[in-house]
C-alpha cells in the first residue's frame, strides 16, 4: 500500500489497544463501519495477533490494517502473517527493517531531529512523532517541519480533539489517536459512545481539509 498517500487522504489513524480481544475486534470493525480507513491494532493489547487475523477475515483482503508497537523482527513477521499491511513502531528498532523486508510500509516513531535523519535512512514511509503532547504539541511539530518540510509527520500520544486540530493546522500529514477516540470500547465499553467519538474525529479531519 501507499501509506503516505493514505495518510494524506484520510489524516487519521485510530490506535486500538484493548484488554479484551473480542471487544478490540468489535472496536476495529465499528471504526471501519464509521469510515475510519486507517486502523492500527497495538501488539500491547490482549491477543493482538488474533484480533488482527480476525479483523482481516472480516474486512477482506483489500482494506489497510496496521499493527502497532512493533519492536522486534519477530513482531513484524507474526503480524504480517496475521494479515497486517503496515507497521507502526515506537522507535527505530529491528522491527523497522524486518517490516520493510516483508513489504510492509512503516510509520516509524521518532522524537529528535537526529532520529528523523536516521529514520529517513531506513526508507520508512512516514514518521510518528511520539509522544507529541508531552513534547510540546503543535509547536514542537512546527519546529521539526522547519528543517524537514517535506517529511510526512504523524503526531501520536495524548492527541485529543484540541491537539489534533492544532497539529493538523501546523502541518501534520495525519494524527494518530488512541484513547480520546477509542475510549474504553476495546475493553468492553460502549459501542454507541465509540460511534459518537468516531464521528467527531471524522468531522474534525474533514474540517482540516487536505
Q: Which of 53, 128, 142, 207 is catalytic?
A: 128
Report residue 38 as a C-alpha cell.
486507517
Q: Which of 40, 53, 101, 115 is catalytic?
A: 40
Helix axes 191-208, 21-33, angle to 10 degrees: 40
Strands (E), the chain: 12-16, 38-42, 66-68, 86-88, 106-110, 126-129, 153-155, 175-177
Report residue 182 as a C-alpha cell.
477509542
Task: For residue 128, indicate whether it is catalytic.
Answer: yes
Which of 61, 90, 60 shows the shortest CA–CA distance to 75?
A: 90
Distance of CA 117 to the CA centre of its chain: 21
Alpha carbons within 13 angstroms on the beta-carbon side of residue 103 total 6
Task: For residue 19, indicate whether it is catalytic.
Answer: no
Residues known to be catalytic: 40, 128
Amino acid at each position: 500500500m501507499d501509506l503516505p498517500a493514505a495518510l494524506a487522504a484520510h489524516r487519521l489513524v485510530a490506535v486500538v489497544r484493548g484488554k479484551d480481544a473480542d471487544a478490540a475486534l468489535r472496536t476495529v470493525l465499528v471504526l471501519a463501519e464509521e469510515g475510519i480507513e486507517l486502523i492500527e491494532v497495538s501488539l500491547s493489547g490482549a491477543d493482538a495477533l488474533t484480533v488482527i487475523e480476525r479483523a482481516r477475515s472480516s474486512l477482506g483482503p483489500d482494506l489497510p490494517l496496521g499493527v502497532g508497537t512493533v519492536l522486534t523482527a519477530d513482531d513484524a513477521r507474526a503480524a504480517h502473517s496475521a494479515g497486517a499491511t503496515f507497521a507502526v513502531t515506537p522507535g527505530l528498532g529491528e522491527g523497522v527493517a524486518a517490516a520493510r523486508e516483508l513489504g510492509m510500509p512503516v510509520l516509524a516513531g521518532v522524537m529528535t531531529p537526529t532520529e528523523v535523519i536516521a529514520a529517513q535512512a531506513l526508507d520508512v514511509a512516514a514518521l510518528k512523532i511520539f509522544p507529541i503532547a508531552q513534547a510540546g504539541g503543535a509547536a514542537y511539530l512546527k519546529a521539526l517541519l522547519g528543517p524537514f518540510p517535506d517529511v510526512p509527520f504523524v503526531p501520536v500520544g495524548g492527541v485529543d480533539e484540541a491537539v489534533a486540530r492544532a497539529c493538523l493546522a501546523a502541518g501534520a500529514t495525519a494524527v494518530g489517536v488512541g484513547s480520546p477516540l477509542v475510549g474504553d470500547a476495546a475493553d468492553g465499553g460502549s459501542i454507541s459512545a465509540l460511534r459518537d467519538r468516531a464521528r467527531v474525529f471524522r468531522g474534525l479531519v474533514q474540517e482540516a481539509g487536505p
